[in-house]
Amino acid sequence: MSVIIVLVIIGVIVAGGFLGAFIWAVKSGQYDDTYSPAIRMLFDDTHPVDEPVEWQEEEKSETN
């Protein structure tokens, strides 16, 4: 029967992991804005955010 005790302890640890994840998510501001991420995921990644300059050059060479 003591397997239940082991299971309960594992259960608490696993759930505690999720609690930790939740706290981290709140602290890193993921709950501050629950509207825009839902919109953002629908945008196409046509503009690579990190290399705007390169992108503009690419566009030019395409049109030429």
Give the binding site for another protein (CB under 8 A): 1, 4-5, 8, 11-12, 15-16, 18-19, 22-23, 26-27, 29, 31-36, 39-40, 42-43, 46-47, 49, 52-53, 55-56, 59
When the beta carbons of 53 and 61 are compared against another protein, the nearer one is 53
Q: How far apart are CA 64 and CA 58, in angstroms?
A: 10
Minimum distance from residue 61 beta carbon to another protein (Å): 14
Q: How far apart are CA 50 and CA 47, in angstroms?
A: 9
Asked if residue 48 lies in contact with residue 55, where contact means CB atoms within 8 angstroms, the answer is yes
Q: Extract the tokens encoding 15.
A: 């759930």
When the beta carbons of 53 and 64 are compared against another protein, the nearer one is 53
